[in-house]
Amino acid sequence: MPRCTACGANNRVERDKLASGLQPVCGRCKQPLPVDASPLTVTDASFASDVERSPLPVLVDMWAPWCGPCRMIAPALEELAIEMTGLVRIAKLNVDENPATSARFAIRSIPALILFKDGREVDRMLGARPKAEIASRLEQLIG
């Protein structure tokens, strides 16, 4: 659900209309909506607003640039971010640059994929996983 930058309203955007190339507009003020399907970078400072208060479920990839398995699953997460636009938001948190959030969620091994729904952790996947497995778990949880 993209938030309108003009009036702040949350808007529902249908995936099939996005896929057909239509530009969504705000239901309240009719301004164009920003629709960015790429993974969102979150930090210690933005975690609460971007993840815990998100109207959509958020899959957070806890990663680090030096981690080989983290780099292996990055393309799958980018594809899922596009394919599941409007249903789930994909976010990335660099554990080296954001130690407070990493410690808060007891991240001891990366990659760690944590799914948040209504601001709470509802699922966790450790290690590199195939795209199909990640997608299946997401679909079950957002059902």
Catalytic residues: 67, 70
Query: Is the Cα dihedral 137, 112, 109, 47 positive or negative?
Result: negative
Torsion of CA 65, 118, 24, 32, to 10 degrees: -80
Q: How far out from the chain centre does Cα 106 lie? A: 19
CA torsion angle for 52, 49, 126, 83 (degrees, to 10)? 100
Q: Dihedral sign, CA of 93, 96, 101, 102?
A: positive
